[in-house]
Each structure stands twice: as structure tokens, then as C-alpha cells.
Amino acid sequence: MDEIIFNLKNKIICGDVLEVLREIPDDTFDLGITSPPYNKKEKYSGWLVDKVKYDGISDIKNEEDYQKWQIEVLNELYRVVKPGGSFFYNHKIRYENGKLIHPIEWISKTRWTLWQEIIWNRKIAGNIRGWRFWQIDERIYWLVKGKPDELKPEHAKLTSIWEIRPESGHKDHPAPFPIELPVRIIYSILEDRPGFIIDPFCGTGTTCVAAKLLEKDYLGIDISEKYVEYALKRLENAESERIRVIKEINQHFVGLTFQERKLLGLAKDRRKQ
């Protein structure tokens, strides 16, 4: 079994998510990060629908079937993540026939414990229509298998609202992560410890590139040959993305507390000013 796991390390597999996951032994990964297709229903028109089209697959399922599929995928992921491990699942609130569909509807039916809901403030909106206030947020669900380690203050201080602009590069893919997002997760959860990370819908390979630059092992899965080829090329040139990784990591620091500044004579007494 150790050999199977060794052979999965630092690979991108082209295949269907469930078929590949079913071949992976229990308790293999320390961490997972993903953004699945959102079931945006291409039959409806609109900016988002026109721009977000994946290579070779249709993002249209009956909502009930979609949710059943996501539950099955999340439960397989639960099996392959180690006890104490975490999975960060990116999704969003959608509306269908006037009804709000919240990801917690299906996440709560999986084996995972929902540890935190993080708001991803993308700051710009795609669908500019006035039926509702422009939706500029997505969600990131921190799911845990057992109890995770406590976050250090330099990570926890980044708060539950993440202001990260969407990715504007990688034009060959409609919905890549900005690299800051997986970097924030990997660095906060694993810090300098080694770890094996899975992204089961890896697209352009952003999670894998982040893992490589942070010296972790990764496994990516995607159904599209075109995206897998793109991700492999990107991994070869990973160093060109290092600067964005450093900028994100530089945000993980704690300054001096007021008491410490006072002791060092750095705190100004405003009453004397």
C-alpha cells in the first residue's frame, strides 16, 4: 500500500473523479482543496454561462443528481483523507427558478464535519443584472475529519472573509483559482510540515503548483486531457509563480501587541500628543 501511495505522489491523473478516487487507499492525504463544476445549467443564457464552459464536459445536471454526485465525491474524499485532516471545498450560493440553493444543503448530508464557512470576497461580479444585489462572494467550506490542529495566530488573523480577486491569467480555462487561495490554505494548515494534498477537480493545476512551491506532495485529477496537459506544463514552470506565493505568505505575520510595543517604548501615548 505504501508503494501505491508513493506512486500517486506529484502526479496529475486524467480521469473521472469517482473512478480515480475509488482506486485510492483510505487515509492517504493530509489535506484537500477543490472547486467542482457548479452545475450552472448552460441552457440558461447570461454572462457567467457564456464565459464558464469547460472543455469536453457539460455543466448541466438535474439539481438532485448534481447534489447526489457531490455527496458521493465528498464521501470518497472523506475516506481518502487521514483522520485529523481537512478539506477546503469552494462553492457558491446559486438561484434556480427564484429559489436559493445553498451548498450546506448537501454538505450537511456528507460524513464531514463542517468546521467553518469562509466568505471569499472576489470584489467583482460576473452577472451584472439587477434582480439581486451583485453577488461578489463565493464560499469556502473548511471540512474536517476529526479535530484539526489549532491555527497559529498569524494564520487565524486573516479572518473568515478572504479578499482575493479572481484569477485573470490562464485564459484556456474558464474558472481557475487565484494561486493565493490554495497557498493561504496550505501554508495555514501545514506550515513547514510535509504533507500530501489532493485536488480532485484540479483544472489548470493551481493547487498542485501551490503545493509544489511550498514543498508539499500533491495529486491532481481532472477529466479533461487539455487541462491536464496545461497543468503539467504549468508545473514545469512553477518557479515563475513564486512571487505571488511569497506575497501571500508575507501576509501571515503577527505584529507586536500594544503591551509589547509599550514595553519596547514604541507605543505613543495619544494624550501627550
Ligand X SMILES: C[S@@+](CC[C@H](N)C(=O)[O-])C[C@H]1O[C@@H](n2cnc3c(N)ncnc32)[C@H](O)[C@@H]1O
Which residues lie near ligand X (CB under 6 A)? 16-17, 35-37, 54, 57, 173, 175-177, 201-204, 206, 221-224, 227
Least gap, CB of 36 to ligand X (angstroms): 6
Nearer to ligand X, 175 or 213 (CB): 175
- Nearest to ligand X of 66, 227 (CB atom): 227
CB 112 within 8 A of CB 145: yes
Q: How far is the CB of 222 from ligand X (least distance, A)?
A: 5
Q: Shortest Cβ distance from residue 176 to ligand X (Å)? A: 3
Cα angle 194, 200, 201 (rounded to 5 degrees) comes to: 125
Pairing of strands 81-91, 137-144: antiparallel
SS3 of residue 236 by DSSP: helix
> What minimum distance in Å lies between the beta carbon of 132 and ligand X?
22
SS3 assignment, position 125: coil
Phi-psi region of 199 (alpha: psi -120 to 50; beta: other; left: phi over 0): beta
Least Å distance, CB 158 to ligand X, is 20
Q: Measured from the CB atom, is 92 or 157 closer to ligand X?
A: 92
Q: Which residue is nearest to ligand X (CB)?
A: 203
d(CA 201, CA 15): 10
Residue 35 or 188 with smaller CB distance to ligand X: 35
Least distance (Å) from ligand X to the CB of residue 19?
8
Question: In 110-222, where does DSSP find H-type helix?
Answer: 153-156, 180-190, 206-213
- Within the chain, what is the greatest distance between any pair of CA atoms? 69
Shortest Cβ 54–ligand X spacing (Å): 5
Per the CB < 8 A criterion, the answer to whether 221 and 32 are in contact is no
Which residue, 33 or 189, has its beta carbon nearer to ligand X? 33
Please report, for residues 71, 143, 177, 189, the alpha-carbon distance to residue 85 in angstroms, rounded to integers and kept in the order given.
Answer: 18, 9, 22, 9
Nearer to ligand X, 154 or 241 (CB): 241
Q: Which is nearer to ligand X, 195 or 203 (CB)?
A: 203
Query: 236: buried, middle or exposed (CB in 10 Å: 19+, 13-18, 0-12)?
Result: exposed
